[in-house]
Structure 1
Amino acid sequence: MVERKEYELNLYDYWRILRRRKWTIILAVLLTEALTVFYTSKVTPIYEASCSVEIERRFTQTGFLQEFFTWYPGDIMSTEARIIKSRPVIEEVVKKLGLAGKNPKPEEIDRKVSEIISRVSVKREANSNVLNIKVASTDPKEAAVIANTIAEVYVIKSVERKTERDRELRKFIEEQLKFAKAKLEDSEEAIRLFEQTGKITGVRSNLKQQLASLKLELSELLHKFTENHPRVKAVKRRIKDVESLLAAVSKEDLAYMRLKRELDLNLQLYTLLSKKYKDALIAEADKAPNVHVINPATPPSRPVRPNKKMNYMMGFILGIFLGIIGAIVRENLDTSIGTIEEVEEYLQVPVLAVIPRIGEKEKSKDIKEKLIIFSDPKSPIAESFRTLFTNIELSDIEATSKTVLFTSTSLKEGKSLVVSNTSLAAAQMGKKVLLVESDLRKPVIHRIFGVPKEPGLTNYLLGNVNFDEIIRGTTDILLGAIDPALIAKTWGIENFSLITSGPLPPNPSELFNSKIFFEFLERVKERFDVIMFDSAPVLPVADASILSPKLDGVVIVYKVGVTARGALRRAKIQIEQAKGKVLGIVLNDIRAAELMDTGYYYYYYHRYYSEEEEKG
């Protein structure tokens, strides 16, 4: 079996498609832009007003336990942004502006609050303590009013929250101050009672002073004398005596000292709390806000949505994208032909002939009457078949006997009629021609010539008949269904022979790969100058791909308006991948309007023959 590979388009192919289909792209862009403009004009414009507020650093005015409070701008700003969009703030705005109507019900207020929240956004300006409050609305004035009212309510709420915090702090300090005052009074009373008992002697204090003096004296003596000096020893003895006396001081002195120390601490705490309490009173009375509106909102002059420039740009880009997709789709489905040069550039093989469309005069339901070589040998169509064979003759086939395969991309492209007329044209040019009906799927050549299908090619390949039994010559054709008068008027018919298909086998591929088929090829090459094979289409089945490497060349018949150009290219690539040699393309059933060069040729040739007939 022959491996089939899909052809992959390269960059040049895409560039050629875009260049050829530029009007498709332009039309797609224009239509998309028109729809974009229409859609943009129908969208209700949305305006957005912005109001900026500054939030000062927030420390407690009293400085109470200030070391436990830390300023985190990021966290604070995020928290304040959430407070601005909170339901209490927005609900106050709705009520203040009457956005829910007169005497609204709770559910109406709640619904309006949810709507306003969805239209509000709060963002922090980078590296600052400024928050931008943005409100979207279909009315620019309403957007500005709501934004300013949100800022105003937020400032009021901020002052209320600050006042509440200061009040709570003042109450806390007031309670602590009462407790500290009570402890201070208790300490003072304890000292007074202790002193009244007369237990305070002051000896401990004197002993400590004396001990400190002796230690200082000892330090000075050690700088002058050694440890064994009499004066040093004397001072050491005195220090030891004082330490002994100090240890013997009564426990009452120690208790007094503890009371004194506690009194000092309570006094310091009371003094501190008294100062903080005064600061708290001042802070509670201070109603200055720590939030300020620094940039009030004004009614915007332009809507933020729809963004016309952005919409038009996106419509343009989308139009180009859709245009490119449409161009590629049209290219793959396109069956039109521009010029012969374009076809040759597209396929990189020559156009061997252009077969004009059969006119009303030549049309007939009987397929046999479409053998133009018989019915109208001097017509431009008949001449196009002679041109086709001439170009095959001029191709670079070096073999003495030429074996040429005629195939097509798909069904109903007229390959059988083309190969039939071309083989007759070759016979008229003096070549000994054999036409082989090797389309073992849907053979029609035997019906064109009006001869029986059997015995034929498959009978011979299966070993059922001899070689000479399957070759049909002039006598067989005269005995067929074609009008003998037409055959008699056709010169060169004696050079023409035909082999029909025979019965259709279940798997033609096996017959074409058999040994006897190669022997068949050798025998026909010995007897004929040109052997033309009519094969099944390339894309539906593998017959043409199997036969193509065994023959000298392949001619692909392409009927304009039936098969997509991309399919034609795939057929050509498939033949080449099977190691077959594509000699060229035959453009079949071409209208003059589709190919100006061909139209000019057809008109000129038809006029030339008409003038000759008039002269004759």
Structure 2
Amino acid sequence: MSTIEKALAKQKAAQAKATAEQPQVTEQEAPAASTPVATTQPIEEAATASGNLTVCVDTESMNERGYLIDEGNRKNIKEEFRQIKRKVLNNAFGRIGQTLDNSNLVMVSSSKPNEGKTFVSINLALSIALEQDKTVLLVDADVLRPSINRELGVPDTEGLMEYLLHEKNDIGEVIYNTNIDNFKLIPSGKVHHLSNELLASERMKSLAKELAKRYPDRLVIFDCPPIVGITETVVLSEHVGQAIIVVEESKTQLANITEATEQLSEELAIGFVINKSVRSHKDKYGYYGYGYYK
């Protein structure tokens, strides 16, 4: 090896050592930019101080699609989800919460597919994340048709399935911080032929108890599969304290709503959100839905 080659090798070794000694920077720690970080970036490989990985939510794209990102616009939908949020928080941490098991665990579902339950799940989580003294954990439990990662604009990664399959021993290994304050995520994870059965397993039951007790000041929102025709969703409902049923206006049949709610436990605090409700042609975002929760 020539003298020049030896010098280059020595320089590369020094650079590698310096890089290894530098602290890892997550997306949350990066300097603020005028536009959100592009979603094509991979998941951050470095662990945060809490031991969780970090994913970067594509806030710009979400804002364009009607999610509660923009501080200045969407006043109507923000107020609607604020009302829903207040009922959920009161049920979780107020007087009613003392009568419910796992009152801080909330499932969001619908009678049939494509009624907007994921849109409601994400917006409710975003609204709760604005609270000063609460955090929210969004769990993609729709294991057959997972869509949370896609809607948030983050890459597919390990999540709930890996934990239920014992590939991850600690649930903290699949809880991801995000670049949105107070907003955490458990993705669905890989597709598995026993996904529904795993959702109804004893390990899932134990996980629900752990999430309820380990983080008593946190709301956990499960975006669940539709109720009608999927028995595992009904089993999952036995582990939560609250259920929100999303109803698409002028489309969802009353018979389907009745069939769905009759399968849920009477011990649950059950509410309904009317989605895609058109109230005014002047309201640009009105079709996203007027909701109520009781």
Structure 1 and Structure 2 fold alike (TM over 0.5):
yes
Structure 1 residues 512, 529: CA separation in 2 closer, same or farther (over 3 Å shift)? same
- TM-score under structure 1 normalisation? 0.32
Aligned residue in 2 for 1:516: 203
Given that 2:144 and 2:196 are in contact with CA atoms closer than 8 Å, whether structure 1 keeps it comes out as no
Aligned residue in 1 for 2:226: 537
The SS at the match of 2:108 is strand
User: Where in structure 1 are there 5+ consecutive unaligned residues?
Assistant: 1-365, 479-492, 594-598, 603-616
Q: Deviations over 1:54-89 (max 9, x none)?
A: xxxxxxxxxxxxxxxxxxxxxxxxxxxxxxxxxxxx
Tell me by how many angstroms 1:519 deviates.
Answer: 2.7
Structure 1 residues 517, 368: CA separation in 2 closer, same or farther (over 3 Å shift)? farther
Given that 1:535 and 1:543 are in contact with CA atoms closer than 8 Å, whether structure 2 keeps it comes out as no
Given that 2:115 and 2:248 are in contact with CA atoms closer than 8 Å, whether structure 1 keeps it comes out as yes
Identity %: 27
Tell me by how many angstroms 1:558 deviates.
Answer: 0.4
Tell me by how many angstroms 1:394 deviates.
Answer: 2.8
Tell me by how many angstroms 1:372 deviates.
Answer: 2.5
1:440 and 1:566 map into 2 onto residues whose CA distance is: 25
The SS at the match of 1:546 is helix
Structure 1 residues 580, 447: CA separation in 2 closer, same or farther (over 3 Å shift)? farther
The SS at the match of 1:375 is coil
Q: Deviations over 1:221-268 (max 9, x none)?
A: xxxxxxxxxxxxxxxxxxxxxxxxxxxxxxxxxxxxxxxxxxxxxxxx
Greater relative contact order (CA < 8 Å, ≥ 6 in sequence): 2
Is 1:553 paired with 2:223? no
2:209 and 2:227 map into 1 onto residues whose CA distance is: 24
Aligned residue in 2 for 1:451: 154
User: Where in structure 2 are there 5+ consecutive unaligned residues?
Assistant: 1-60, 287-294
Output aligned runs, 1:187-586, within 5 Å. Answer: 369-375=64-70, 378-395=74-91, 396-398=96-98, 402-430=104-132, 431-465=134-168, 466-474=170-178, 478=179, 493-525=180-212, 526-527=214-215, 529-576=218-265, 581-586=268-273
Which protein shows a greater Rg?
1
Aligned residue in 1 for 2:278: 591
1:373 and 1:367 map into 2 onto residues whose CA distance is: 8
Tell me by how many angstroms 1:440 deviates.
Answer: 0.6
The SS at the match of 2:197 is helix
- TM-score under structure 2 normalisation? 0.66
Q: Deviations over 1:412-466 (max 9, x none)?
A: 1110010101011011023111110000111111111112232010001111124
Q: Deviations over 1:91-147 (max 9, x none)?
A: xxxxxxxxxxxxxxxxxxxxxxxxxxxxxxxxxxxxxxxxxxxxxxxxxxxxxxxxx
1:457 and 1:368 map into 2 onto residues whose CA distance is: 27
Aligned length: 212
Give 1:375's aligned amino acid. D
Aligned residue in 2 for 1:289: none
Give 1:427's aligned amino acid. A
2:67 and 2:79 map into 1 onto residues whose CA distance is: 9
Given that 1:370 and 1:417 are in contact with CA atoms closer than 8 Å, whether structure 2 keeps it comes out as no
1:388 and 1:534 map into 2 onto residues whose CA distance is: 16
Tell me by how many angstroms 1:543 deviates.
Answer: 2.6
CA RMSD of aligned residues (A): 2.4
